[in-house]
Structure 1
């Protein structure tokens, strides 16, 4: 018995010793081939030994066996099994790359149920997600929405080319009809639905991920998502301690510097993050210099029980930038180019003043946003998420007011130097009384004084322009000034959502969405440009005497948004008030392979207009009551996972959307539109998804009908009885149908080579004919003979966005952490923007199709690990956009065809007959009298970033 005990003790000791000697440390880093994946789960197969990666994607495991396998899993990626063998007490598995199997965002990033993020193989909507690593690497000096260029049915242009002046279309709908959400907050302008990307120029620095939900989307709010929803999720304050410094430069003397730091979550539950950046440059287009800043501060607190999580975020991007607002004809770009090629950098607003470059068109704005998020886990089945937010926008767009001898500053002849730039010195000379030669007028022109001074105003002193309320008849008295149209606002809102798990299969959301908005719209005087005073006679209480003003205001960015200045306002002064109250609910079912939802929302918008310029203060119309309009939506869908690889989904929805403010009160008057009606949007969508280890793909079919669209058109053509610019037009019964197919796919050919691609083809057309009414600008009365005129729009193509897009991209890791990538983007079926008033003939030619084009982008990345523990890094990135310097038309505003006959008296070819084609007036098959914006040529930028 004693011998047996000795053997048992010896055996037990041997096992303990063997186990001790077989223990070892396993380390490694998990990435997606582009950036690290914090929070990935790492477990030793067949055991309970597990850990998760830190903020840099690194992990450490203590193994109890010398060999085995680890299994790595991360939401949205394929699980990966890796063999290990421990020798010498430790082993480093190096960098392990996971393959994406979805467009899903990590739940580590998205905490609040206020943020409606679509989940792959669950939420039945068409969705694409761009993660922070890709935004950080590839955006470079591009505009923020341009990172979405390679997603299906998305068309992005830089428009005039000024800093932040880009715009985006989804499925043929412009950004006024695309909901943009930041951390669950709606940010579309409450008066007109616009999104001005220059106000959000700093978002790219603080975004964790950006998700595009095409179609009616997954948002529970009653948002204007006719074409889609862009969800932007910013960084939170509870990231791991660390930070970064970055500096970048590019063509056009573009320079940017940035620094950030995160405290990480402290023992007391507090956390903080801060980011500051500054950017400046000359711009690609001539005369579009810019300067912008960005600040982001986030404070967080999470209690130990995990029941409460608070996030306070303040961010803003004060900026100024010169613009290219005047759109020129192709012939004008050619005139100032070489050898018949257009000068795509030409800017008809740019010029010289006192020997220095000067542009009268300038945008300056500061729109800080503060939000307070509170997530309260009431119990295991109930969660309350709330966000309170506030925004105070301050700024304006500077332009020109008035004219000289009936000519605007941007006239193609009157004030042009031989190089095509505006001769602002000549304008100043004329304004101050010096005789000057003005093209188009014989001899020297000299200004006359009024009341002993050189008086500027908003009038051109010519019957061919807007009705002249200041009855000056001498064309030698008018002048040009720089003025700014102020569009400031105060905006407050709240979104509250209660999420209740009713059972293992049913979850109910119920919430409230409230917003209040006050927009301030008026004009101020910036520069008399040599004149002595400014005469304004637009205040009803002060007519007919008017006011003589000399005070000017600078065009600097207002950093302090709480500062109030008592401006002397000119031309117009109105305040738009919008109140929005809405409730929403959603019931979601999830069991096994089936998820389904139905949701609905109802809202009431109230519109109130105040105006003490057009109306006397005693007039009831100087302050209207609220015009309340009810709208809402209902939508539902289902997703079924056939197996681990295949899933199908479908959704449908209906929106009754309230009109925008200028539809309720047209033409800046306080009388309610008699033709007011809600716009009706009906959408259907179906899709199929495939997920495998090496290949992921999604195919979507959609159909969206947009009825009773409100659209304001251009003035009627001038006639002997209708002065130019004295009318405006509105369209009734304008309907559109947008249908199409979309494909998006990616493949990891090897661990080093990744291929991505997309294709979309749309059929976007007007449906049926509509009617147009014309009104006089002065009092909104109908123009006799132009009431309910038919416009023949049926089957006319919707313009302003490419209806066929495709892209193909590849990324290859040449050496460890050395990557090259390239992407080719192709656009076809691009039609010019339309004005339906041009379609009064049943035999119209439809929309003008522009030439197709393709662009190649390329990049190079290198990440060098530094520090004692290799836990820091220096990152190098080079981007080259439009590698082959392709010249292409990105958008057009007119629809003049090559086989159209020249006007009887053509200013281009006086006395000529025939068509534009027969007279050789073409560029790439397009009549060169069309007004267009060309896209940018080759641009590049280089960034150096240190992460610690």
Structure 2
């Protein structure tokens, strides 16, 4: 009897619950009164309650007042409340201002459905490492990277190699605008000090990647997006101080959104450091300003940013004998290279931080300002476009003291004093670069249902004036003040168009991308080659077609597999033209790139794996060969390749502990090439054939790990470690011309003290090279035969031992 009563009571309760639940019908529209599909409706516990259909409709049962969140790609997130008595309701999603702002980078970036290998860094990822070092050092934790610094501490001249690929083969853009030097293809981060403080996010694509503006990516591309508009006004003061008398002072201000249509942001930065290397000082200043107007569909944004760098030259490196503290070896080196007694004394007494240069103003001094005007427009939920105009103005020089220089090399006549003819002089020279770079880039995007297609491109022109002047000479001869001894004007027009598309078929996505790129390059005048001025006039025209195709499979929401094949073509750099006659000019390079990978993320786990094959045809390499105008030229190696496996994983063990690791194992080979060694005994050069040797600066193994502790909220401790395997300084696989492998550990500690009416005050500490290892991570080498011996002159760039940076950041 009691059992029957209990059962009846349960049935009554259940029926009351069921009948009290109301079927709620919702419809979701955008600001143009069009239906919005694939809107996710979640509750406060982030549980998915429903998904809108193609008509923007959804249904769910509601038995109580339920707070919900509605979110969809391309729209702002809105929060609302569902009530059982309402039964139906219409919701209006406003377009996302952030997506409108990022239209210009979407065209060249990889997304979740792009079958290529990439890494994204958020603003928080960038900020937590930004103690003042150049941007390459902030990317050091990503896969397959090796960074180095001339001055040894990450400030001044720095570079980054990804998959062993040198910086001239890495495409860099800021807001979709090409940044690499148009002639040398080099990327000079020192000209944009502390730009990381104005970076919203960064994407690194490894391999050829997707079509971009500027030079072809021959191993990697780095795309930086500057700060997005903030809703509220803010102010930030970021100060760091540490080893080698290093200071970083940054001030940031922003108005937030004014009258729903305007916003303004600004930053000033100052970085100074004595450097680890002797006299390896840096004095860097930079600024960033941005003004924006926007409405629901359009945004016009004008960015001006720039930098001024004065960096003492530390780019000669340190002789191997000085690194090894081999006194006899140093004396032999000094004798071989005709060092003066003063120069020899400097070598013997300087230690690992030796710097050959001692002239007090042996500096690199350069100013560069970038102007970018971006117009983004959303026609409707399917059509979007961007057009951007840009102008970069750069001017600067590096100054050198030259002892006993030939007057004839500087277009100066011999000097006759009494009956003595003087043909050499001590002098101070400056080599200038005065350039302009401007153009337009654009893209148009259509996205609906399963199809996403983008057409884009750009036309850019570079105008550069290379010249050198003598500002002082002990014997000035027939020269005038600021005597110009070479002058070379250059012009380069780069035009590209591309079309790329993804199409979803069930769980699969098909990707196709093709780019047409044309280059017209002209330089005329007098070029300064190996100390001798020669007349040179050259013109070059290239037409490249760069196709890409790929496939991606979404196994489920957690697991994705992809594969792609891409071809990239690249023109030679400036030196390949100026150090060759037109008849001896090297051929363009071609890269065939295969990428296969898998991305997995679920719960506490993340695991990515990729395989790559990068096969080069006519890769340009240094062989030591002297060309027909007396310069050491790069030569096309017909066949070479890089192939490897990249792995990365992370595991959030507890709320307060996360472990992460990454590794790249690769083979980097030249099938065959001929090395040429100067023979000073017999004249000419000796040819040495090498087969199946390692590509220079391409370690077989790069591995890293890290632990992240957060014992209490807003207090963070991060420990990282990295191993870089042996690197050969040329392509001969000669261990005697290599850089030893090294292992480093770094420590980061931060605490955010939250205060009323402000974001808080953050205290930070960075300890680099925690184990105080002595190591080198870059260098160069050359060989010659003298006195029936092969001399190998190796030079290295030592890096700092244990060093510290402390930081206080005030955010309002």
* TM-score bucket of the superposed structures, by smaller chain: 0.7 to 0.9
**Structure 1's 526 and 895: CA in aligned 2 closer, same or farther, altered over 3 A?**
closer
> 1:603 aligns to what SS in structure 2?
strand
1:159 shift after superposition:
3.3
1:824-875 per-position Cα deviation (integer Å, ceiling 9, x unaligned): 11111322234xxxx6xxxx8578443221101001101011125xx42011
CA distance 1:522–1:739, shift in 2 (3 Å)? same
Aligned with residue 519 of structure 1, among 461, 464, 472 = 464
Q: For residues 439-473 of structure 1, give each alpha carbon's deviation from its aligned partner in whole angstroms, at most 9, with x where no partner exists.
A: xxxxxxxxxxxxxxxxx84769xxxxxx9985999
Shift of 1:592: 4.5
Q: 1:648 aligns with which of 561, 568, 571?
A: 561
| Aligned residues of 2:173 and 2:222 also touching (Cα < 8 A) | yes
User: What are the equivalent positions in structure 2 for 1:488-499 lying under 5 Å apart?
Assistant: 488-499=434-445
Secondary structure at the counterpart of residue 930 of structure 1: strand
In the alignment, does 2:206 pair up with 1:214?
yes
Q: From 789, 800, 803, give the equivalent of 1:936.
A: 800
1:323 aligns with 2:187: no
Task: Tell me, yes or no, if the aligned pair for 2:408 and 2:423 is still in contact at 8 Å.
Answer: no
1-structure distance, mates of 2:479, 2:314: 31
| TM-aligned CA deviation for residue 769 of structure 1 | 3.3
Structure 1: how far apart are the matches of 2:591 and 2:368?
31
Alignment correspondent of 1:780: none
**Alignment partner of 1:751 is 2:696:** no
2:278 to 249, 263, 286: 286
Q: Which residue of structure 2 aligns with residue 369 of structure 1?
A: 370
The residue that corresponds to 1:3 in the other structure is: none
| Aligned equivalent of 1:635, options 540, 544, 548 | 548
The answer to whether the 8 Å contact 2:487/2:525 transfers is yes
Correspondence for 1:148 among 139, 146, 163:
139
Paired with 1:252 and 1:614, the residues of 2 have a C-alpha distance of 36
- C-alpha displacement of 1:110: 3.0
TM normalised by structure 1 equals 0.69
Q: Deviations over 1:236-284 (max 9, x none)?
A: 3444321211211111111121111111122240111011111212122
Between the aligned partners of 1:509 and 1:474, the Cα distance in structure 2 is: 72
Which residue number corresponds to residue 356 of structure 2?
Answer: 349
Distance 1:263 1:42 in 2: 33
Q: Is the 8 A contact 2:675 2:690 kept in 1?
A: no
Cα displacement string for residues 749-785 of structure 1 (whole angstroms, at most 9, x for unaligned residues)? 11221212100011001123358799xxxxxxxx998
Q: 1:128 aligns with which of 102, 119, 128?
A: 119
**Equivalent residue, structure 2, for 1:173:** 165
| Structure 2 equivalent of residue 891 of structure 1 | 778
**Equivalent residues in 2 for 1:912-923, closer than 5 Å:** none
User: Any idea what the Cα deviations from partners look like across 1:615-637, whole Å, max 9, x if unmatched?
Assistant: 9xxxx97766x532111300111
Deviation sequence 1:136-161 (CA, Å, 0-9, x none): 22232432101222222111111354
Aligned pairs for 1:195-344 (under 5 A) are 195-221=187-213, 223-303=215-295, 306-335=296-325
- Secondary structure of 1:138's counterpart equals coil
Secondary structure in 2 aligned to 1:317? strand
**SS state at 1:662 partner:** helix
Whether contact under 8 Å (1:284, 1:345) holds in the other structure is no
In structure 2, what is the equivalent of residue 416 of structure 1?
none
Instruction: Give the drift of 1:593.
Output: 2.7
Q: C-alpha displacement at 1:881, in angstroms?
A: 0.4
C-alpha distance in 2, partners of 1:205/1:222? 24
- Of 742, 746, 749 in structure 2, the residue corresponding to residue 860 of structure 1 is 749
1:593 alignment counterpart:
507
Contact 2:132 2:155 (C-alpha < 8 Å) held by counterparts: no
Q: 1:772 to 1:828 in 2, by over 3 A?
A: closer
The equivalences for 1:784-799 within 5 A come to: 792-799=689-696
Q: CA 1:673/1:752 → structure 2, altered by over 3 Å: closer, same or farther?
A: farther
Is 1:877 the counterpart of 2:734? The answer is no
Shift of 1:494: 1.1
**Deviation at 1:109?**
6.8
Q: 1:474 to 1:185 in 2, by over 3 A?
A: farther
Aligned to 2:597: 687
> Structure 1: how far apart are the matches of 2:770 and 2:70?
38
Matched, 1:741 2:657: no
Return the offset for 1:74.
Answer: 10
| Aligned Cα root-mean-square deviation (Å) | 3.9
Q: CA deviation at 1:42?
A: 7.7
Structure 2: distance between partners of 1:727 and 1:75? 55
CA contact (8 A) 1:397 1:486 kept: yes
Asked if 1:699 is matched to 2:609, the reply is yes
Taking the aligned partners of 1:765 and 1:176, their CA distance within structure 2 comes to 19
Q: Which of 400, 425, 434 is 1:479 aligned to?
A: 425
Classify the secondary structure of the residue corresponding to 2:133.
Answer: coil
Equivalent in the alignment of 2:340: none
- Alignment CA distance shift 1:845-1:548 (3 Å): closer
Q: Which residue of 2 aligns with 1:657?
A: 570
Q: Who is 1:778 aligned against?
A: none
- In structure 1, C-alpha distance between the alignment counterparts of 2:227 and 2:354, rounded to whole Å: 38
Contact 2:621–2:637 (CA under 8 A) maintained in structure 1: no
Q: Distance in 2 between matches of 1:457 and 1:43?
A: 81
Please give the alpha-carbon distance, in whole angstroms, between the structure 1 residues aligned to 2:537 and 2:789.
48
The equivalent residue for 1:159 is 150
- Looking at structure 2, the residues matched to 71 and 506 of structure 1 have their Cα atoms a distance apart, in angstroms, of 27
Instruction: Report if aligned partners of 2:576, 2:633 keep a CA contact under 8 Å in 1.
Output: no
The farther-off stretch of 261-270 and 519-528 is 519-528
Instruction: Give the equivalent residue in structure 2 for 1:812.
Output: 709
Distance 1:845 1:251, change over 3 A: closer
Residue 548 (structure 1) aligns with: 479
For structure 2, the 5+ residue unaligned runs are 1-39, 51-61, 78-97, 331-347
Paired with 1:75 and 1:879, the residues of 2 have a C-alpha distance of 37
Aligned equivalent of 1:604: 518
SS in 2 for 1:792: strand
Cα gap change, 1:709/1:773 in structure 2, threshold over 3 Å: closer, same or farther? farther
CA distance in 2 between counterparts of 1:687 and 1:599 reads 19
Matched, 1:945 2:801: no
Give the distance between the partners of 1:282 and 1:584, measured in 2 at CA: 46
1:509 paired residue among 450, 454, 468: 454
Equivalent residues in 2 for 1:104-115 (5 A)?
Answer: 107=99, 110-113=102-105, 115=107
CA distance in 2, matches of 1:256, 1:943: 9
What corresponds to 1:398 in structure 2? 399
Which residue of the partner structure matches residue 580 of structure 1?
494
Q: Against the structure 1 CA distance between its residues 112 and 527, is the aligned structure 2 distance closer, same or farther, given a 3 Å change threshold?
A: same
Match in the other structure for 1:672: 582
State which drifts further: 64-73 or 763-772: 64-73
Residue in structure 2 matched with residue 542 of structure 1 by the alignment? none
Q: Which residue of 2 aligns with 1:760?
A: 664
Q: 1:891 aligns to what SS in structure 2?
A: strand
What is the CA-CA distance between 1:499 and the residue it aligns to? 0.9
In structure 2, the CA distance between the partners of 1:331 and 1:772, relative to structure 1 (3 Å rule), is closer
How far did 1:902 drift? 11
Could you tell me which residue of structure 2 aligns to residue 429 of structure 1? none
Q: Is the 8 A contact 1:153 1:803 kept in 2?
A: no
Residue 718 of structure 2 corresponds to which residue in structure 1? 821
